[in-house]
Structure 1
């Protein structure tokens, strides 16, 4: 059975809005959503009033809104993040009931935490959950959230940025599909992120922070490190690429900037690894077929 996969897409189309209206009219979906009626009416008014194919700006008023897509790019739910001071509140819904029980909520939550802590720079992520919503309560508890406060009808959970980073690193150590990065690459990439700070490097920063860090002399020969060359299978199409820093990318297909979607995706993976990765327009299936050249294996530690 494949690992649950969710990507969060910031673009909201008219078709997405119609999906949302359907979900918010389902009593089983909205049972524990306090403002679902208001939201449904608002979406209906937007769809009827605005004749635009993309409605992203209307959904991001007062916060960040994402459609949750499965591995086949089908919308199955949504995530909303609202920043208030140093805190950020998350609302997460899997609206497609056919997907309940597949742990897509936990996958969507992981993606939501990534945006909250690496993009919005929240110090704490808050979730307010109805006391009877057992499915959501279990999802947030399994993901490491701690009870912050409660009333007879509402429980408030919190995740601090420090706890999030600690768990992110611990989960990687116990994950057989964890990625590896050398100390030198980590240092250089952190400097790059500081200069490129913004939404474009959110995934890269996340990957660096969750990676297992090793000395250059100890990294396995089949790991994709910076300036490595590898053969990829990208959606069943084979291609040879070099993973380079942005200043060395010349726009050709065979030089992938580490800041690009596919470049970030392959960093730290090994021969034989397969990755589902969301690019700006769709999810791609990537397999590392062969590592043709790795600077560390060749003794080129100056690269």
Structure 2
């Protein structure tokens, strides 16, 4: 085992990571991680990947990757310029091709839905136009009837017109009253919702296992947002025995997943618990209230739905 491999291994152990944990976080195959720790650089795909993998390894375990590469510059294989250019061009070409194919595939998959929406809009426009036309005809017929009643000078007809005005005024008052009642109902519902603020509290901790209780979780679909502070974190979200989302969260970035409607029990696993941050519907959930130093952690949540 060479010096740089020994240094990386000690930093990994200090972080509490196994090689399997590091493989999940960095997406570097375990056999390459072992080769880096043992200084067997010939086992890696090429000299270009030696520096790239060491840099990613060092960043994950909290070392200064640039300083580490500079310190052991003489012990690492040199990257050939033509190899770097070849891989850069190849990667750029592949990325461009994948991006183009992805955009075209996305539009092609959406084409049937766009066609259906366009047809529905046309049908609605036609029906709306016919309804407006019929309404105009009805108004013309009503105006003609009203004119004939006024010209006849018949007293009972005048009384009928007056009665219609009274009914119209009464209808407006009733509509205004109903509108006020609806506004009052909405305001009451809003105040009730405000009183039922979502809250989360840790109820127990046992080594790498934590338990949280959530109160007033909406019964609808809820949005879970993950972020990372100071260093990247690997996170997995599971509900009803099914993994909903898993992946790495970079510093300064956010990853969002949806918790299905009516779920009252779910859990998350994280490979860097002190750096992992979480929100439920925009409300912060403190995953580490006791400032525990354990990195790999499983956190179980039990929720009470809002009434």
| Pair in the same fold by TM > 0.5 | no
User: Which structure has the higher relative contact order (CA within 8 Å, separation 6+)?
Assistant: 2
TM-score by length of 1: 0.23
Which structure has the larger Rg? 2
Q: Which has the higher strand share?
A: 1
Tell me the TM-score normalized by structure 2. 0.23
